[in-house]
Structure 1
Amino acid sequence: MEAQRRNRLILVPCPFQGHITPMLQLGTVLQSKGFVITVAHTKFNSPNPSYYPDFKFLEMPDGLSDLNVSSKNLVSVLSGFNINCKIPLQEALTQMVKTNGHREKIGCIIYDEYMYFSNAVANHLQIPSIILSTSSAANMLTYQAIPRFLNDGYIPLKETMLMDPVPELQPLRFKDLPFSNATDSDGLLQLISEAHKTRTSSAIIWNTAECLEQSSLAQLGQGYQIPFFPIGPMHKMVPPSCCSLLEEDYKCISWLDEQMDSSVIYVSLGSIASMDEKGLVEMAWGLANSKQPFLWVVRIDSSNGRDGIKILPESFEKTVGERGYIVNWAPQKEVLAHRAVGGFWSHCGWNSTIESVSEGVPMICQSYFGDQKVNARFLSQVWGVGIQWESDLERGEVGIVIRRLMVNEEGKVIRHRAIELKEKIEISIKQGGSSSNSLIDLINHILLS
């Protein structure tokens, strides 16, 4: 343990909810093992230091104004971070090394795969670096295949090929690739290329488990000459803590306490995705038509920057009464672990995916962009714990698919598979399990680097 205390780890998260959450969870895991943690973060979406009193926080100027960040400008925002944050981080760590001297060393820099400037800083300061991949291993396989796609003429994708299976990446179709509907697909491909070609890191950490992605991890390993450490699901390895960038409404837990076991459909489409007014209203009446109790997250900016709750018709609230509960943001991990929740209508971001399968909660998979589409396909076609939604939102169909999952025989079969997967994940994080052993190997790797 003394060796760990003399090792300070620098964590560089990407400042979006789906990325910063696993990085802070990783910091909590490693801090519990004796390492000293510094989180180097952007001013944009900066974490609340009061939630992590044992961490040191280092703010990096990011060059962003009060920009309204959405899926439409993510590429330019991420590129901006990599341009603007490199020098501030390098200068701060240089000063840290000079100040601490031999009393404490920087053991390594652990950085989000999209904050690849950190790798250049690590090389400059001759500090080891490790990548944290906050998406699935299956998603990384699609990135690894990009040179092959370019060479074989699959990129740019053509409308006529979107439903075709991707060679060597079944069950994915071309429409499931994370760049298939990107607003700036060329920019995204360039960003991915930059992130991969600059890598000289010594390892990759994954917030996944071998029981979920053994095949994908094995395929990836054929193209990398560095060790992988699948140590997930990390949220099951740490005490409950607040990683949320939005205020969580805990009053919904009291409402859940009043509901029957496995009766509630929980609906949350993530922290960035939005739907138009028509889609929001159709979802509302679909929930009403399903006759199922529901907990629905409707962000203040959920409908093209507008407060989605204010868009809902008054007659909707009168119709559903006490059967529905709407919040701006929910404590998702606690919600999914609640006995009353029997289904999750999700955008299928990786955090939501792994949190749901860890609790044995089956899903309705409505993906929007990026790795969400890969995750949705695996949830429905590989793990068999979800129903993939690929239509426009229409109230009649929404009500039908909810009842398919929550009431019908099909849903019972899916729920049984979800519970089996939960049990496998529980074994992986126990002592002697694959994720537990990977964590031990990761600690040894850091100490020997």
Structure 2
Amino acid sequence: MTTSQLHIALLAFPFGSHAAPLLTLVQKITPFLPSNTIFSFFNTSNSNTSIFSKTPNQENIKIYNIWDGVKQGNETPIGREAIELFIHSTPTNFETSMREAEEETGVKFSCIISDAFLWFSSEFANKMNVPWIAFWTAGSCSLSIHLYTDLIRSNDETLLNIPGFSSTLKMSDMPPEVIAESLKGPMPSMLHNMALNLHKANALVLNSFEELDPIINKDLKSKLQKVLNIGPLVISSSSSNKDANSDESGCIEWLDNQKERSVVYLSFGTVTTLPPSEIIAIAQALEDKKIPFIWSLRDNGVKTLPKGFFERSKEYGKIISWAPQLEILAHRSVGVFVTHCGWNSILEGISYGVPMICRPFFGDQKMNSRMVESVWQIGLQIEGGNFTKSGTIIALGTFFDEGKGKVLRKNVEGLKEKALEAVKLDNGSSIENFKVLVELIKCHKPT
């Protein structure tokens, strides 16, 4: 078993938008490491199939399918049941495949990079005497909330003052795992253990930029060994993300014929699904105001639309099952982004200077939504937390007047400039942090 070359273990959390950013991180790191570096990517079969089918020819990455917790012969579960089965199968499923990878390659691991959720990576790294680098795929705001889980749970007030936050937060903004009745459930337990063990990581890597949350980042740095914001990855990796055939639905050509900042872009991610009543409310609002729109809506959602809406709205809108989101947000015609507030979507909105209307569902989305409206002031939350016809009309109207809409747009343009500065090749904060990350990975050999 040799230690003469770098062998990096990559441990993915296979649900939501977690595994794909880890792969993006690998692609970003690869050119700065020796050409014979081995990456072993540990993930469930379903998740591996999903992310690697979109990014073929990863010759330097060896893919390992770990057990997802589903017993042979059983039907593949979905949603919460699938997540809980996977969590119950950890860490043994990772340990088994990692031993296999070392035996197959003949090279000991020199570093572990894992999704921050997978807190037990600290124990693996300690046994191997190698660095553990934790990758938090969301923002520093939501990470900070998890680190203060015990403080939040000891508070019986509806309003919270959390160190590092410049404004008061609501208990209702907290991720459900933080305020769960018990921390013994699979997800609450995993995230609480993460909070208790994250100080053991040699570095915490975030897909964000320091200037977005400077006070929170300062607080994180007082608790963790190294805090490295290296994003937004969407800017630094955008050239590799674009697909020459990504506009099969003709969105960009359609946008070229619209007025500047006149179009509403609606997308709620690949996991969340709007209730039928909210789909109808949005459609009614769009039709009432005849606002130009592009709506990424899957087939089951299209079936919910008011009768005849699809045909009536064709003259001023487009409904598509999949959208080239980066290209749409980058287009001069897009004036507002209606989103579920997943972290990737938030960063993309900021990176392309598009203000947002937020309709969060779960996880960190409520926290992100609060930051968008109250802290960064680059958008607003939908009134009452759900789409109604009147609430949607009011929200959309905000972005097409010369008052508040102008302020929100100016604020998001300011953050866009800071994001671009962060990834500047000479001395951007994210570039400097990335250099630290590469050196940490490159310089260690297991003993």
TM-score calculated relative to the size of structure 1: 0.86
State the AA in 2 paired with 1:314: K
Partner of 1:92: 97
8 Å Cα contact 1:231-1:438 kept in structure 2 = yes
2-structure distance, mates of 1:110, 1:180:
24
Partner of 2:140: 137
State the AA in 2 paired with 1:396: S
State the AA in 2 paired with 1:60: I
Q: Give yes or no for the alignment of 1:445 onto 2:440.
A: yes
1-structure distance, mates of 2:123, 2:248:
40
CA shift, 1:8, in A, is: 2.7
8 Å Cα contact 2:382-2:392 kept in structure 1 = no
Distance 1:424 1:239, change over 3 A: closer
- Secondary structure of the 1:344 match is strand
8 Å Cα contact 2:147-2:196 kept in structure 1 = no
8 Å Cα contact 1:38-1:58 kept in structure 2 = yes
8 Å Cα contact 1:249-1:330 kept in structure 2 = no
Distance 1:145 1:332, change over 3 A: same
Distance 1:299 1:32, change over 3 A: farther
- Secondary structure of the 1:406 match is coil
Q: How does 1:375-414 map to 2 (within 5 A)?
A: 375-391=368-384, 392-414=386-408
Partner of 1:434: 429
Q: How does 1:187-198 map to 2 (within 5 A)?
A: 187=185, 188-198=187-197
CA shift, 1:255, in A, is: 2.4
8 Å Cα contact 1:78-1:114 kept in structure 2 = no
8 Å Cα contact 1:165-1:171 kept in structure 2 = yes
2-structure distance, mates of 1:180, 1:287:
35
Partner of 2:411: 417
- Secondary structure of the 1:220 match is helix
Partner of 2:112: 109
Q: How does 1:253-272 map to 2 (within 5 A)?
A: 253-272=252-271
Partner of 1:303: none
CA shift, 1:447, in A, is: 2.2
Partner of 1:32: 31
Q: Which is further off, 5-14 or 364-373?
A: 5-14
Q: How does 1:158-177 map to 2 (within 5 A)?
A: 161-162=157-158, 164-168=159-163, 169=165, 170-177=167-174
Q: Give yes or no for the alignment of 1:53 onto 2:57.
A: yes
2-structure distance, mates of 1:408, 1:28:
42
2-structure distance, mates of 1:88, 1:183:
27
Identity, in percent, stands at 28
Q: Deviations over 1:319-350 (max 9, x none)?
A: 32221111222222222112221110111111
Q: Deviations over 1:55-98 (max 9, x none)?
A: 3221112124654534xx2xx54443233253343233223334
State the AA in 2 paired with 1:406: F
CA shift, 1:274, in A, is: 2.1
2-structure distance, mates of 1:5, 1:331:
42
2-structure distance, mates of 1:252, 1:166:
44
Q: Deviations over 1:366-407 (max 9, x none)?
A: 111221111111111111111122423211221221121134
1-structure distance, mates of 2:279, 2:239:
32
Distance 1:383 1:308, change over 3 A: same
1-structure distance, mates of 2:247, 2:15:
16
Partner of 2:216: 216
Q: How does 1:180-259 map to 2 (within 5 A)?
A: 186=183, 187=185, 188-199=187-198, 200-224=200-224, 226-241=225-240, 250-259=249-258
Partner of 1:41: 43
1-structure distance, mates of 2:209, 2:356:
19
2-structure distance, mates of 1:198, 1:53:
35
Partner of 1:340: 333
8 Å Cα contact 2:69-2:88 kept in structure 1 = no
State the AA in 2 paired with 1:116: W
2-structure distance, mates of 1:343, 1:207:
23
2-structure distance, mates of 1:99, 1:143:
37
8 Å Cα contact 1:20-1:243 kept in structure 2 = no
Partner of 1:304: none
1-structure distance, mates of 2:403, 2:88:
53
CA shift, 1:26, in A, is: 0.5
Q: Deviations over 1:226-265 (max 9, x none)?
A: 1111101012112544699xx9965333322332222111
- Secondary structure of the 1:57 match is strand
State the AA in 2 paired with 1:395: K
Structure 1: any 5+ residue segments left out of the alignment? Answer: 155-160, 301-306
- Secondary structure of the 1:63 match is coil
Distance 1:379 1:56, change over 3 A: same
Q: Which is further off, 415-424 or 27-36?
A: 27-36
- Secondary structure of the 1:321 match is coil
CA shift, 1:148, in A, is: 1.6
Q: Deviations over 1:143-169 (max 9, x none)?
A: 11111233x343xxxxxx54x344544
Partner of 1:308: 301
8 Å Cα contact 1:25-1:235 kept in structure 2 = no
Q: Deviations over 1:165-222 (max 9, x none)?
A: 4454433211111128988775343232123334432110010101101111111222
8 Å Cα contact 2:119-2:190 kept in structure 1 = no
2-structure distance, mates of 1:180, 1:290:
39
8 Å Cα contact 1:250-1:331 kept in structure 2 = no
1-structure distance, mates of 2:400, 2:268:
18
8 Å Cα contact 1:11-1:39 kept in structure 2 = yes
- Secondary structure of the 1:111 match is strand
- Secondary structure of the 1:354 match is helix
Distance 1:383 1:121, change over 3 A: same
State the AA in 2 paired with 1:216: I
- Secondary structure of the 1:360 match is coil
- Secondary structure of the 2:377 match is coil
8 Å Cα contact 1:82-1:117 kept in structure 2 = no
Distance 1:279 1:191, change over 3 A: same
Partner of 1:179: 176
1-structure distance, mates of 2:291, 2:101:
56
| Aligned alpha-carbon RMSD (Å) | 2.7
CA shift, 1:352, in A, is: 0.5
